[in-house]
A and B are shown apart, each in its own frame.
Chain A
């Protein structure tokens, strides 16, 4: 199962990016193989429609869950219709490796 996490950087001790659409990186974590992939978000500096770009990126990796700080109204509706689970974690200090550890509960 693949999970996407929005990240401020491309290291395992980077912190979660609270923004979904304009996150710096998308971390794709595979809970089975334990592989971690850091993908720069092409929509990072987009004026608008950053969310859909990021969703497309996540969808291309077949993720079934996305962890971020907050999702916009339109993003929520979109992800809901795609049956992708949204997890909102309002803790800007939490690190990617800590989230991965939580996922391995």
Chain B
């Protein structure tokens, strides 16, 4: 299990690429799902194994606790090893994580916005004024970045109805056409 992190962290060095593809005679099997390396996992690897910081220092740079950092780092290595051993692609999750202020999402007009006045709490959407505002969630990124993957299916957790995932739209905003439950990624 990889740690699920909701807050967007301060990130200094965005990855220069979107991922890696294996090569060789056995690698044409596109059935294999890519390994998705979360941004924080990429960053943990970079800090520890490329820049050679120790865990204590790296956790400080990423602004997470030592145990959290250790979990992220372990997960990163496990994923990379899995990609190597099983000949899978590595997709690095990137996106709206490369800056300082916290980001939010408006449920009503579906805009994303940051809060440059950190000392003030966000109470409403700066565009439409709706109070249905929530913290920006990493899973939006993942859903956006998985657009071209072969496993794009949404499923209804209630009745099992399946439909192709609509790109750019989080599954949770979809309603099951049969029972009107919230859909989720299969």
Q: Is B70 an interface residue (CB 8 A)?
A: no
CB within 8 Å: A-B pair count: 54
CB distance from B125 to the nearest CB of A (A): 8
Residue of A nearest to B114 (CB): A86
Q: Which residues of B contact A105 (CB under 8 A)?
A: 128-130
* Distance between Cα atoms of A79 and B98 in the complex (Å): 12
* A7-15, A17-25, A46-54, A88-96 - interface stretch: A88-96
Q: Is B164 an interface residue (CB 8 A)?
A: no
CB distance from B92 to the nearest CB of A (A): 14
* Distance between Cα atoms of A83 and B100 in the complex (Å): 11
Interface SS of B by simple majority: loop
Is A88 touching B112 in the complex (CB atoms < 8 A)? yes
Is B116 touching A99 in the complex (CB atoms < 8 A)? no
Is A80 touching B127 in the complex (CB atoms < 8 A)? no
Interface residues of A (CB under 8 A from B): 65, 67, 73, 76-77, 79-81, 83-91, 99, 102-103, 105
9 other A-B residue contacts (CB within 8 Å) besides A77-B100, A85-B116: A73-B14, A80-B101, A85-B113, A86-B113, A87-B127, A88-B112, A88-B113, A102-B109, A105-B129
